[in-house]
Amino acid sequence: MLQIIPGIVISYLLGSIPTAYIFGRLLKGIDIRKFGSGNIGATNALRVLGKGWGVAVLVLDVLKGFVAVVFIPVPQDTLRIILGLACICGHNWTIFLKFKGGKGIATTFGVLIGLSVKIAGLKLIVGLLILTWVVVFVLTRIVSFASILTVIALPVYSILFKQSKILVFSGILLCIFALIRHKSNIKRIFQGKEPRLF
């Protein structure tokens, strides 16, 4: 417990770094939450700050999750999963912006990549998730729809490929996190009003 508690705090604070918000302030002197979709994720950064900076936000948000589960030393994979969840919670509910953060997809992806480095069985699942996202996005050009279907696929793939109970449970939890954060997107998708990326 003495080892995992500091790790959880560090992971949460790492996830809490509001990359797109910081870039908006530094590059254009704006609060990115007042532009575009109002989200502090990579997609809104791309629309408001431009493609290059949007990609930079995406990469840094992915790195937050990766670093949390790979470089914070813990002795068990279960504890790594807990660190990953803490990091995602930090991104979704950042302490630096009154607990109003992003939607967690990029950071979740970083966590999964990091876990796949440590847990061999996850490599195939991560590959399938990437393929799922790409196929849905190419067909629809709607980032949120691709992200939603991909997070729903996470626990499904985990069950199909007989991952441990903790990984299946974590997949369900991550799916719930993402669906909660995408409530407004889901509503717009059903209304046919969700914007396409291009």
* In the chain, domain spans: 4-191
Where residue 92 falls (left for φ over 0; alpha for ψ -120 to 50; beta otherwise) is alpha
Question: pLDDT per residue over 158-180, tens digit each?
Answer: 999 999 899 999 999 999 989 99
CB atoms < 10 A from the CB of 187, how many? 11
pLDDT in tens, 74-114: 888 889 999 999 999 999 999 999 999 999 999 999 999 99
Say which residues have a Cβ less than 8 Å from residue 136's Cβ, sequence separation at least 6. 145, 146, 149, 150
Is residue 10 pLDDT above 80, yes or no? yes
- 115 to 26, 48, 101, 144: CA distances (angstroms): 32, 32, 23, 23
Tokens 């575009």: give the residue: 36
Q: Is the distance from CB of 129 to CB of 146 less than 8 angstroms?
A: no
- Mean pLDDT over residues 6-16, rounded? 96
Question: What pLDDT, on a 0 to 100 scale, did the predictor assign at position 183?
Answer: 92
Model confidence band, residue 1 (pLDDT cutoffs 50, 70, 90): low
Q: Check pLDDT > 70 for residue 120.
A: yes
Residues in the chain: 198
